[in-house]
């Protein structure tokens, strides 16, 4: 008897070690891993060889790159080549054709001498069938559009519904929260009748209907308290006198988070739920709070209830703890930044209201402008103040002096108090306390015009901050007018757009080929990646340039992208990948900042790629790849030549 | 007596059926086919020392290459109990514990498995002469015949490859190049190997072989004969 050949049962440690460190194989149990390693075939493909040919090669293996690198590209009917991707160590190719059971969808060519582990079609399919984690990884990492059918099919067979939707706010539709039909009261009824009916039904609001049965308004218990009892109104007054109209509605398919945002924004407690043009019920802040233990609504209520400036100061510092709850519950970065923005907006509103109670009413209508990330509603934890002030044109010298005095006082005290709330000063002094940025409306327009017509480098820099403005408090029509002016002025200003485009090319994505990230080389952030300037800013720049070019009023980056997409200014593919990459980078930054703050450090934008998971690293690389594509798009659109 | 001697030298067909078939197959081997058509067994042995008369094999590791791809699953690894008791300071075999060797089968029991594993494959090793010397000594001892599988030496292939890369004559005699396995791996940018036993070393040699053969393919080395000639050309110089 020959001794048993043990090698049939063992797999080389070298292969195992590699798989153990590679997504998603590291998710496998040791037995499965060894089984996989035993089925591996190792191939060497010299530099410059085409491994897969688009539309031709029957793909028999999944290729996992052990060493070396490949480029992936498409060839169209005219023979033009467009580069799609680089893949390096630990990355794979060939998965999609195997999942789709189709020929190679792309060309793959080695750009270095490359060693690959090959796993047979059958072994890979077996892996997808037996390991939900692995199949989830592959399906998730392949573009959703491409694998749509295969994905749906596999998911049906293999993957149990994900349990991430434990979060009420983001998973529950408003429609499922309502407790039956809305209660109504006819328009000619008295407020006394309304009060007794509410008491009877133990509810806090009634919808008011006209004789035709159409809903024309809403009365709430708060209206009864403030507009009737406190104001000493006759109880026989018809409800139409005190009702709020029109009724604020929300579609039944919206999630509770949206309902909460809308209520917070409008400072109301009731929303009518609408389905196919019909009001099917009501949702209240109470409904949401009941279901959501630690709710941002509590903080929100604390903010709006504050009667003193001193009381307001500590509240802004509570924002992170609220956000933490949202993150734990799986909220997306976009929702979180919107929430932070709303909370900050309310703090600002409360602050300025209290200041004006102190200073007396303003001599002229004014509007507090928010700029930069605040203007884009994209605030995170670390947000320097970027604000300005616009006021109506003073008709005479007396008014001019009064305005100058009053708004100087108001803005200086506002900035002081904002600092006390924990919003750091803007190092560039782009704040309303700076007289340069506290102007009457016509002078703002003149200022904007001069930046657009004769763009000096500094003007371009200013425009990237100022042109993202929105009205934060006060007479919003002043801000809207200014936006109108801007939207009318920019399209066609090729020189300005050209400079803006050049400016957007400054941030090079930190992608050195595909193996390593370029990190900051010196200083305190050595080995760290500046997620903001290298990652997020290019997206913001991209959205700004094209929004300004196409006369879009929106200032939020995702909002701009959506409008650009809807207007046909960017392709659906570009829109999808851009949104995905941007959201990922925002999420990454938010997590990083929260982590820092909980460790008692100052939140910043520097992450160390070495500390990221394999999946995060890959997604990060893919996101930077998107940055590269966006910049190429800008380059082509504005005919920039490579410097 | 003479017949036996000729057989031991591999000059006449051996009597043992396993070796007779081996001899017959390789006598008729067509060397003009493309390299991808042949199967290779890349192997390595661990020895108690370098003395070809006294020292012994303590482990054999091997991996097969078919279609010029390494078949990880089709591999061979066995520990071998040496006939003599190990010297106390057997530093050369630090990769295997004495206990493992005590429990291992003797070479006479490992050999048939390895020979049939090699089958019709060509043998490849790094400085393969040393390994085959030990292997054939055992084969002669137990079966009265050496193995007839042609052998390729990756060290010589690497030297040939280096020579082919250099057009300038004087470079041919550069002596500052190390041809040991790890150094070559580094020089060619092959994946790194951190584990070491006969099996891992065989795998590392297989990587080197694959690299050399495919690189040399682009220089016109396409058949087995080409590969032999490339190696021989180099040897003639020395």
Note whether A6 contacts B112, CB cutoff 8 Å: no
Q: Are residues B77 and B185 in the same domain?
A: no
Task: Report yes or no: B210 at the A interface, CB cutoff 8 Å.
Answer: yes
Q: What's the pLDDT score for residue A158?
A: 32
Task: Report yes or no: A9 at the B interface, CB cutoff 8 Å.
Answer: no
Among the listed residues B142, B152, B150, the one whose alpha carbon sits nearest the alpha carbon of residue B14: B142
Task: Report yes or no: B116 at the A interface, CB cutoff 8 Å.
Answer: yes
A442 is written with which tokens?
């016509």
Q: Are residues B128 and B157 in the same domain?
A: no
Note whether A13 contacts B195, CB cutoff 8 Å: yes
A500 is written with which tokens?
């803006």
Under DSSP, the state recorded for A531 is: I
pLDDT digits (tens, 9 = 90+) for B15-44: 787 788 888 888 888 889 999 999 999 999
Q: Is-contact B79 B197, C-beta < 8 A?
A: no
Q: Are residues B142 and B82 in the same domain?
A: yes
Give rounded-to-5 percent helix, strand, coil for chain B: 50, 15, 35
Q: What's the pLDDT score for residue A207?
A: 92
Q: What's the pLDDT score for residue A488?
A: 92
Task: Give the number of C-alpha atoms closer than 13 A to the C-alpha of residue B72, restricted to the C-beta side.
Answer: 24
Residue A398's pLDDT band (cuts 50, 70, 90): very high
Q: What's the pLDDT score for residue B164?
A: 77
Note whether B199 contacts A12, CB cutoff 8 Å: yes
Distance separating alpha carbons of residues A37 and A13, to the nearest angstrom: 9
Q: How far is B176 from chain A (nearest CA, A)?
A: 24
Best residue in A1, A2, A38 to probe B by mutation, most B CBs within 10 Å? A2
Instruction: For residue B207, give the chain A residue with the closest CA.
Output: A44
Whether the model pTM is above 0.80: no
pLDDT digits (tens, 9 = 90+) for A57-100: 899 999 999 988 888 887 777 677 766 667 788 888 888 788 77
Distance separating alpha carbons of residues A348 and A316, to the nearest angstrom: 10
Note whether A42 contacts B72, CB cutoff 8 Å: yes
Q: Is-contact A208 A184, C-beta < 8 A?
A: yes
Q: How far is B185 from chain A (nearest CA, A)?
A: 12
Among the listed residues A554, A619, A603, the one whose alpha carbon sits nearest the alpha carbon of residue A379: A603
Looking at the predicted structure, is the pLDDT value of residue A9 above 90? no
**Which of A3, A38, A118 has the CB atom closest to B110's CB atom?**
A3
Distance separating alpha carbons of residues A403 and A274, to the nearest angstrom: 45
A38 contacts on B by Cβ (under 8 Å): 72-73
Burial of A151 (0-12, 13-18, 19+ CB in 10 A): buried
A356 is written with which tokens?
């004006």
Q: Is-contact A65 A85, C-beta < 8 A?
A: no
Omega of the bond prior to A246 within 30 degrees of 0, cis? yes
Best residue in B67, B191, B194 to probe A by mutation, most A CBs within 10 Å? B191
**Which of B72, B116, B190 has the CB atom closest to A15's CB atom?**
B72
pLDDT digits (tens, 9 = 90+) for A586-613: 888 887 887 777 666 777 888 877 777 6
Q: What are the residue ranges in chain B where pLDDT is below 70? A: 1-12, 86-95, 166-177, 231-238
Q: How far is the CA of A380 from the CAs of A62, A334, A469, A600, B160, in angstroms?
A: 41, 10, 17, 17, 62
Task: Report yes or no: B117 at the A interface, CB cutoff 8 Å.
Answer: yes
Q: How many domains does chain B have?
A: 2
Note whether B72 contacts A38, CB cutoff 8 Å: yes
B62 contacts on A by Cβ (under 8 Å): 7
Share of chain A above pLDDT 70, in %: 84
- 18-47 in A: which are within 8 Å (CB) of B? 18, 37-46
Q: What's the pLDDT score for residue A527?
A: 64
H helices of A226-383, in order, are 256-266, 285-291, 296-305, 309-312, 319-328, 333-359, 372-375
Q: Are residues B79 and B132 in the same domain?
A: yes
Burial of A336 (0-12, 13-18, 19+ CB in 10 A): buried
Task: Report yes or no: B36 at the A interface, CB cutoff 8 Å.
Answer: no
Q: What's the pLDDT score for residue A305?
A: 80
Q: How far is B70 from chain A (nearest CA, A)?
A: 5
Q: Are residues B6 and B119 in the same domain?
A: yes
B60 is written with which tokens?
């054999």
Residue A141's pLDDT band (cuts 50, 70, 90): low
Q: Are residues B143 and B42 in the same domain?
A: yes
Residue A39's pLDDT band (cuts 50, 70, 90): confident
Q: Are residues B79 and B167 in the same domain?
A: no
Looking at the predicted structure, is the pLDDT value of residue A42 above 90? yes
Q: Which residue is associated with the tokens 């998603």?
A: A24
Q: Are residues B22 and B114 in the same domain?
A: yes
Task: Report yes or no: A599 at the B interface, CB cutoff 8 Å.
Answer: no
Distance separating alpha carbons of residues A532 and A586, to the nearest angstrom: 9
Q: Are residues B90 and B208 in the same domain?
A: no
Best residue in B18, B70, B71, B72 to probe A by mutation, most A CBs within 10 Å? B72
Q: Which of A368-377, A463-472, A618-627 has the lowest mean pLDDT?
A: A618-627
Residue environment code for B214-229, b if the CB has 16+ CB neighbours within 10 A, otherwise e: bbbbeeebbbbebbee
Task: Report yes or no: B107 at the A interface, CB cutoff 8 Å.
Answer: no
Q: Which helix (H) or strand (E) holds A425?
A: none
Residue A330's pLDDT band (cuts 50, 70, 90): low
Provide the residue range defining the domain that includes B230.
153-237
A157 is written with which tokens?
């067979």
Note whether A7 contacts B211, CB cutoff 8 Å: no
Looking at the predicted structure, is the pLDDT value of residue A166 above 90? no
Instruction: For residue A1, give the chain B residue with the closest CA.
Output: B109
Residue where one domain finishes, among candidates B122, B150, B178: B150
Residue A359's pLDDT band (cuts 50, 70, 90): very high
Q: Are residues B115 and B165 in the same domain?
A: no
Average pLDDT over residues A27-53: 89
How high is the mean pLDDT of chain A?
Answer: 82
A290 is written with which tokens?
């009941």
Distance separating alpha carbons of residues B233 and B160, to the nearest angstrom: 8
The β-bridge partners of B122 are B40
Instruction: For residue B77, give the chain A residue with the closest CA.
Output: A7
Task: Report yes or no: B39 at the A interface, CB cutoff 8 Å.
Answer: no
CA dihedral A168, A171, A174, A179 (to 10 degrees): -50
Task: Report yes or no: A483 at the B interface, CB cutoff 8 Å.
Answer: no
Angle at the Cα of B110 (from B89 to B201), degrees rounded to 5? 60
Q: Which helix (H) or strand (E) holds B42?
A: strand B40-47
**What domains sit in chain A, N to C, each tagged with a CATH number?**
10-161 (2.60.120.10), 170-287 (3.10.580.10), 296-489 (3.30.460.10), 500-637 (1.20.120)
pLDDT digits (tens, 9 = 90+) for A339-355: 888 888 989 999 999 99
Task: Report yes or no: A2 at the B interface, CB cutoff 8 Å.
Answer: yes
Q: Is-contact B207 B70, C-beta < 8 A?
A: yes
Q: What's the pLDDT score for residue A103?
A: 84
Q: Which of A274-288, A356-370, A403-417 has the lowest mean pLDDT?
A: A274-288
- 101-120 in A: which are within 8 Å (CB) of B? 113, 115, 118
Long-range contacts of A88-92 (CB under 8 A, 24+ apart): A88/A513, A88/A514, A88/A515, A89/A65, A89/A515, A90/A21, A90/A22, A90/A23, A90/A64, A90/A65, A90/A614, A91/A64, A91/A65, A91/A514, A91/A618, A92/A62, A92/A63, A92/A64, A92/A65
Task: Report yes or no: A66 at the B interface, CB cutoff 8 Å.
Answer: yes
Q: Is-contact A489 A448, C-beta < 8 A?
A: yes
Residue where one domain finishes, among candidates B93, B118, B150: B150
Distance separating alpha carbons of residues A100 and A146, to the nearest angstrom: 9
pLDDT digits (tens, 9 = 90+) for A535-590: 899 999 999 999 999 999 999 999 999 999 999 999 998 998 899 889 888 888 88
Note whether B73 contacts A40, CB cutoff 8 Å: yes
Q: How far is the CA of A118 from the CAs of A24, A39, A92, B204, in angstroms?
A: 15, 8, 10, 17
Q: Is-contact A29 A106, C-beta < 8 A?
A: no
CATH code of the domain in which B12 resides: 3.30.420.10
Q: Are residues B128 and B164 in the same domain?
A: no
Task: Report yes or no: B161 at the A interface, CB cutoff 8 Å.
Answer: no
**Which of A14, A40, A67 has the CB atom closest to B200's CB atom?**
A14
More confident position, B190 or A336: B190
Q: What's the pLDDT score for residue A193?
A: 92
pLDDT digits (tens, 9 = 90+) for B38-72: 999 999 998 887 777 788 888 999 999 999 999 98
pLDDT digits (tens, 9 = 90+) for A478-496: 999 999 999 999 888 888 9
Q: What's the pLDDT score for residue A523?
A: 55
**Which of A3, A66, A115 has the CB atom closest to B109's CB atom?**
A3
Q: Kindly report the length of chain A.
A: 643
Residue A28's pLDDT band (cuts 50, 70, 90): confident
Residue where one domain finishes, among candidates B126, B150, B174: B150
Q: How far is B34 from chain A (nearest CA, A)?
A: 17
Omega of the bond prior to A24 within 30 degrees of 0, cis? yes
Distance separating alpha carbons of residues A561 and A575, to the nearest angstrom: 7
Q: How many other β-carbons are positioned within 10 Å of the β-carbon of residue A401?
A: 12
The β-bridge partners of A470 are A370
Instruction: For residue A36, give the chain B residue with the closest CA.
Output: B73
A3 contacts on B by Cβ (under 8 Å): 78, 105, 109-110, 113
Q: What's the pLDDT score for residue B15?
A: 76
Three-state DSSP at A608 gives coil
Q: Is-contact A519 A611, C-beta < 8 A?
A: no
Long-range contacts of A320-325 (CB under 8 A, 24+ apart): A320/A381, A320/A594, A320/A597, A322/A294, A322/A295, A322/A296, A323/A381, A323/A590, A323/A594, A324/A594, A324/A598, A325/A294, A325/A295, A325/A296
Task: Report yes or no: B214 at the A interface, CB cutoff 8 Å.
Answer: yes
Q: Are residues B127 and B233 in the same domain?
A: no
Residue A293's pLDDT band (cuts 50, 70, 90): very low
What ipTM was assigned to the predicted interfaces of this complex?
0.86
Three-state DSSP at B80 gives coil
């Amino acid at each position: 008897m020959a001794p048993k050949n043990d090698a049939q049962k063992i797999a080389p440690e070298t292969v195992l070690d590699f798989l153990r460190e590679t997504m998603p194989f590291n998710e496998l149990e040791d037995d499965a891993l060894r089984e996989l390693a035993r089925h591996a075939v190792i191939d060497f493909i010299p530099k410059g060889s085409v491994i897969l040919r688009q539309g031709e090669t029957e793909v028999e293996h999944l290729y996992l790159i052990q060493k070396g690198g490949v480029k992936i590209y498409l060839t169209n009917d005219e023979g033009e080549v467009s580069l799609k991707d680089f893949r390096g160590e630990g990355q794979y190719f060939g998965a999609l054709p195997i999942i789709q059971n189709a020929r190679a969808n792309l060309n793959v060519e080695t750009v270095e001498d490359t060693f690959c582990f090959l796993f047979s079609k059958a072994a890979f399919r077996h892996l997808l069938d037996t390991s939900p984690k692995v199949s989830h990884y592959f399906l998730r990492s392949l573009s959703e559009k491409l694998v749509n059918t295969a994905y749906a099919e596999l998911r049906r067979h293999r993957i149990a519904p994900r349990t991430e939707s434990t979060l009420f706010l983001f998973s529950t539709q408003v429609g499922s929260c309502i407790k039956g039909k809305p209660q109504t009261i006819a328009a000619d009824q008295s407020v006394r009748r309304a009060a007794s009916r509410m008491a009877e039904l133990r509810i806090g609001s009634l919808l008011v209907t006209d004789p035709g049965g159409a809903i024309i308004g809403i009365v709430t218990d708060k209206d009864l308290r403030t507009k009737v009892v406190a104001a000493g109104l006759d109880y026989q007054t018809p409800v139409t006198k005190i009702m709020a109209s029109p009724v604020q509605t929300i579609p039944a398919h919206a999630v509770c988070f949206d309902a909460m945002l809308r209520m917070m924004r409008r400072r109301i407690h009731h929303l009518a739920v609408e389905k196919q043009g019909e009001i099917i019920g009501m949702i209240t802040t109470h409904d949401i709070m009941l279901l959501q233990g630690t709710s941002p609504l509590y903080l929100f209520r604390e903010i709006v209830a504050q009667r003193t400036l001193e009381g307001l100061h500590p509240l802004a510092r509570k924002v992170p703890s609220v956000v933490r709850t949202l993150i734990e519950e799986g909220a997306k970065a976009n929702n979180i930044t919107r929430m932070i923005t709303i909370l900050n907006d309310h703090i600002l509103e409360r602050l300025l209201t209290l200041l004006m109670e102190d200073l007396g009413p303003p001599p002229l209508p004014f509007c507090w402008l928010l700029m930069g990330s605040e203007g884009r509603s994209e605030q995170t934890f670390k947000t320097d103040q970027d604000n300005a002030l616009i006021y109506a044109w003073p008709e005479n010298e007396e008014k001019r002096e009064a305005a100058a005095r009053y708004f100087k006082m108001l803005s200086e005290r506002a900035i002081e108090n904002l600092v006390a709330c924990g919003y750091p000063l803007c190092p560039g002094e782009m704040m309303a306390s700076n007289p340069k940025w506290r102007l009457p409306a016509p002078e703002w327009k003149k200022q904007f015009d001069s930046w657009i017509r004769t763009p000096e480098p500094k003007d371009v820099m200013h425009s990237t901050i100022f042109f993202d403005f929105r009205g934060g408090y006060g007479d919003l029509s002043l801000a809207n007018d200014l936006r109108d002016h801007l939207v009318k002025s920019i399209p066609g200003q090729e020189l300005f757009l050209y400079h803006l485009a050049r400016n957007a090319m400054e941030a090079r994505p930190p992608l050195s080929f595909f193996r390593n990230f370029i990190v900051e080389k010196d200083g305190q952030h050595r080995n760290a990646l500046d997620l903001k300037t290298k990652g997020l800013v290019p997206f913001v720049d991209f959205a700004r340039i094209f929004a300004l070019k196409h006369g879009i009023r929106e200032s939020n980056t995702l909002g701009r992208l959506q409008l650009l997409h809807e207007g046909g200014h960017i392709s659906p593919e570009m829109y999808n990948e851009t949104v995905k990459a941007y959201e990922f980078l925002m999420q990454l930054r938010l997590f990083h900042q929260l982590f820092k703050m909980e460790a008692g450090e100052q939140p910043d934008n520097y992450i160390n790629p070495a500390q990221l998971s394999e999946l995060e690293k890959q997604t990060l690389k893919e996101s930077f790849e998107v940055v590269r594509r966006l910049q190429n798009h800008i380059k082509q659109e504005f005919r920039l030549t490579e410097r | 007596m003479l017949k036996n001697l000729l057989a031991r030298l591999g000059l006449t067909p051996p009597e043992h059926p396993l070796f007779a078939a081996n001899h017959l197959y390789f006598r008729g081997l067509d060397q003009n086919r493309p390299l991808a058509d042949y199967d290779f067994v890349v192997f390595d042995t661990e020895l108690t020392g370098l003395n070809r008369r006294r020292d012994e094999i303590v482990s054999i590791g091997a991996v097969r290459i078919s279609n010029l791809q390494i078949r990880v699953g089709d591999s061979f690894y066995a520990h071998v109990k040496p006939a003599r008791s190990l010297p106390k300071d057997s530093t050369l075999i630090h990769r295997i514990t004495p206990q493992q060797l005590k429990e291992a089968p003797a070479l006479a029991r490992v050999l048939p498995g390895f020979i049939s594993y090699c089958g019709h494959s060509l043998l490849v090793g790094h400085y393969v002469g040393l390994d085959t010397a030990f292997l054939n000594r055992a084969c002669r001892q137990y079966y009265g015949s050496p193995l007839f599988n042609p052998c390729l030496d990756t060290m010589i292939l690497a030297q040939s490859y280096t020579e082919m890369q250099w057009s300038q004559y004087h470079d041919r005699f550069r002596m500052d190049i190390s041809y040991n396995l790890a150094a070559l791996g580094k020089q060619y940018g092959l994946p790194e190997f951190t584990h070491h036993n006969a099996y891992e070393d065989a795998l590392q040699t297989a990587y080197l072989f694959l690299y050399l053969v495919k690189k040399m393919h682009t220089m016109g080395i396409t058949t087995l004969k080409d590969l032999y000639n490339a190696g021989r050309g180099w040897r003639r110089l020395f």
